[in-house]
Structure formats: C-alpha cells, structure tokens
Amino acid sequence: MTIPPAILLRPAGRSDAADLLAWRNDPVTRRNSRNTGAVEPAGHAAWLERALADANRRLWIAERGGETLGTVSATLGGDGAVELSLTVAPAMRGRGAGAGMIRAALVEVAAAWPGAVVRATVRAENAASRRLFERCGFVATGEGGGFLAYRYTG
C-alpha cells in the first residue's frame, strides 16, 4: 500500500492570480458562493492585493505531491473568530482533497490564532460541502439566507 503525500498549504501570491480567478469563476464555485456573479480580472486583482496585505487573513494554495488542489482562506473577524473557506480546483473535485485541505488549514489557524473559534458558512443546498465540514469536526449552529453556519468542535 502506498501512503499518499500530505497536503501542504503555501501562502498564495500574485503569481497565483490566474488560478484563483479561474477557480472563483468556475460555475460550480459561483453557484455555491455568497456572491454568485462572475468576477472580472481587474476586480479580482484588487481583491487579491487587499487579501495579501490583510494581517487578519491567510490565503493559501493547497498542494499534494506536486499537484495544485485549490485554495483555503482564513479570516480573523472583529469578534475574534476565524472564518474558514475553501475552493477545491474543478479538476480535483471528488478526489478527496477537501478534507485534507480543511485539516491542514485548522493546523495553520491554530498556530496563527491560538484558541480562536473557527467557523464556516456553507450554502444549505450544497450537500457535499456540508458533509465535508461535518466529517472534519464542524457542527451546524444556525441557518439563514440559504446558508448554514458551522463551528469547529474538533
């Protein structure tokens, strides 16, 4: 039996802009996002600059064995809680990347913001993401506007 390589998170950078934009504008990603509209390159470039400069945000690219899997974001809110979100690259969906991405992000979040509550928000109709977060130790804490709020409980 071969043990698959671990999922590694590396900080995203400007050189990742094209991949991040393509993943964000993927139809499945858009359908499951808070903002379902397409994002234009100029707007995305401005967002990326803000995200990279934000001391309360971590933006990572997930990789495994030389393959790029997607992106994970963690944002520290004013209430001291961290909002976790991820996008699995379309070519990597259904290949078991999501759970490893979440688990790797939880390790990074614990190092960056020890003791912080970790939350996630999932579109209620997105059964695959709901199952993914629940498998990783998140429990639903509320619903509103077509989304479920989750909290990491370990």
CATH no. of 8-152: 3.40.630.30
- The domain locations on the chain are 8-152
Checking if the pLDDT of 105 tops 60, the result is yes
Nearest to 23 by CA among 83, 105, 85, 77: 85
Note the pTM of the prediction, 2 decimals: 0.91
Mean pLDDT of the region 75-80: 96
Mean pLDDT of the region 41-67: 95
Indicate the helix (H) or strand (E) that contains 41: helix 41-53
Place of tokens 């992000």: 105
Share of the chain above pLDDT 70, in %: 97
Checking if the pLDDT of 2 tops 60, the result is no
Give residues with Cβ within 8 angstroms of 32, minimum separation 6. Answer: 122, 123, 126, 129
What pLDDT sits at residue 154? 82
